[in-house]
Structure 1
Amino acid sequence: MIEFNRVTKTYHGVRALDEVSFSVRPGTVTGFLGPNGAGKSTALRVLAGLARPTSGSATVLGRPYTELERPGFDVGTLLDAGAHHPGRTGREVLTLGALLLGLPRSRVEEVLELVGLTVKESRRVVGGYSLGMRQRLGIGHALLGRPRALLLDEPANGLDPQGIQWMRTLLRGLAGEGCAVLLSSHLLYEVEQVADHIVMIGRGRVLADGTVAELGAGRGLERTFLDLTAEADRSLA
């Protein structure tokens, strides 16, 4: 379970998050939708223990990230596809992660196959990877410990159509195994194809929280999203 309970985050007097509350149940993919600057990345940083909430709490499996005993096995994160050292090979990145978690080197081979990086690609330095390859590597790194929760920030960026289809299949498979997946994006159509549940955010506030069918009833999910974000902009203008 992933849970936000009235999380507020203020930077220099500006509320990046304003009493954000929602949850992600095990076995589901929740799409976290909002335009650029809506607060999605800030929320994920708070959840991953990289930023402290000004008030409220964000927990994974009932605890703040910083209090998890084995975070690499509890929650996998992809917050920045460019975070890995550009001078290391993809294989080295995964091997270091596996060693830190006490995993056998065979897990590296499993993950490379899972994310579709070939032997040749795994031996190239990350600085020479395309954005799509870095996304695959980042997802693989997040999955090393077979976590029970997964946090992904804009994972479809840089993926070609085949890669996007692969990602949909992967995330649905992980949810089917009981993983709680939180997928942040501004690409409504892609999220709609894979998510069970949608949380819409704008100007740091939760604008809607429901299933794809509920939020799209009558006028369609895209129209709901556009109307709600426009309303949020007007209310704070």
Structure 2
Amino acid sequence: MIRIEHLTKRYGGFTAVDDISFTAQPGRVTGFLGPNGAGKSTALRTLTQLTPATSGEALVLGRRYSELPNPSKHVGVMLDAAAQHPGRTGREVLRLAATVTGMGKARVDEMLDLVGLERSEAARRVKDYSLGMRQRLGLAGALMGNPEVLILDEPANGLDPAGIRWMRGLLRDFADRGGTVLLSSHLLH
């Protein structure tokens, strides 16, 4: 479960997130919708404690993100798929994620299969990936630790209509198995 209460983030005199409150429940896909620049990404960065909140509280599984033991094992996060190291191959990116989450090498191939990245694509450097391929790789990384919660910022960016349908099915299946999904979007798909 994710619970955000009275969360505010200010940068000097600019308010990026203004007193938001909501709960994302297990078994559900919760959409966090708004136009570009509305503060969605900032709120998710605050939830994962990459950006400190000005006020309010953000809890994942009843704790602040930094208080979770090995957070990437419990919470899969994809905030910016384009931020992956461009010089690494897709497989290298996922091997690092497997190491951090304590998963074996076999999990890398499972995740490649799950997100529809071919072995030949996984052998290419991330700098040569399309945005849609980076999104799929980011989802594979977020799912690597078999988490209870997924936090995804604009996961449909760069996906074609078939890719969006695929992603919706993947997230619905995750939630149907008891997972909590929080995703942001500026589009109503």
Q: TM-score range by the shorter chain?
A: over 0.9
Matched, 1:115 2:115: yes
Normalising by structure 2, report the TM-score.
Answer: 0.98
Partner letter of residue 2 of structure 2? I
Q: Cα deviation per residue 1:38-63 (whole Å; 9 max; x = unaligned)?
A: 11011000001101111111010011
Partners of 1:181 and 1:100 in 2: CA distance: 21
Partner of 1:22: 22
The Cα of 1:83 is off from its aligned counterpart by: 1.3
Alignment of 1:52-71 (within 5 A): 52-71=52-71
Normalising by structure 1, report the TM-score.
Answer: 0.79
Judge conservation of contact 2:171–2:181 (CA < 8 Å) in 1.
yes
Partner of 2:97: 97
Partner letter of residue 43 of structure 2? A
Partner of 2:179: 179
Gaps of 5+ in 2: none
Matched, 1:38 2:8: no
The Cα of 1:74 is off from its aligned counterpart by: 1.2
Partner letter of residue 47 of structure 1? L
Q: Cα deviation per residue 1:93-143 (whole Å; 9 max; x = unaligned)?
A: 001111122211000010000000001000000000000000000000000
The alignment covers a number of residue pairs equal to 189
Partner letter of residue 99 of structure 1? T
SS at match of 2:162: helix
Partner of 1:159: 159
Partners of 1:179 and 1:160 in 2: CA distance: 25
Partner of 1:204: none
Partner of 1:49: 49
Partners of 1:101 and 1:167 in 2: CA distance: 22
Partner letter of residue 167 of structure 1? M
Partner letter of residue 63 of structure 1? R
How much is the aligned-residue C-alpha RMSD, in angstroms?
0.7
Partner of 2:129: 129
Partner of 1:87: 87
Partner letter of residue 173 of structure 1? D
Partners of 2:34 and 2:148 in 1: CA distance: 25
Larger Rg: 1
SS at match of 1:93: helix
